[in-house]
Copies of this chain bind each other. A is one copy, B any other.
Amino acid sequence: MADTTLTREQILEAAEDVLRRFGPAKATVVDVARALGVSHGSVYRHFASKVALREAVTERWLERAHGELPAVVDADDPAPQRLRTWAHTLHRAKRGRALDDPELFATYLVLVRENSHVVRASLDELVTQLSRIIAAGVAAGDFAADDVPATARAVFHATVLFHDPAYAAMWDDPETGRQLDAVVDLILTGLRPR
Chain A interface residue count, Cβ-Cβ cutoff 8 angstroms: 24
- Let me know if B179 and A153 touch, CB within 8 A: yes
Within the oligomer, what is the number of copies of this chain? Answer: 2
Q: Which residues on B sit within 8 Å (CB–CB) of A151?
A: 182, 186
- Report if A154-B186 is in contact (Cβ < 8 Å); known contacts: A160-B160, A161-B160: yes
Contact with B along A76-97 (1 / 0, CB 8 A): 0000000000000000000000
A61 and B47 CA atoms in complex are apart in Å by 48
- Let me know if B157 and A183 touch, CB within 8 A: yes
- Let me know if B154 and A183 touch, CB within 8 A: yes
For chain A, what secondary structure do more than half of its interface residues adopt (helix, strand, loop), or is it mixed? Answer: helix
From 155 to 194 in chain A, residues with beta carbon under 8 angstroms from any chain B beta carbon are 155, 157-161, 164, 166-167, 179, 182-183, 185-191, 194
Contact of A179 among B154, B182, B186, B189 (CB under 8 A): B154
Can you list 10 contacts pairing A with B, beta carbon distance less than 8 Å? A154-B179, A155-B186, A158-B161, A164-B166, A166-B166, A166-B167, A187-B190, A189-B190, A189-B191, A194-B194
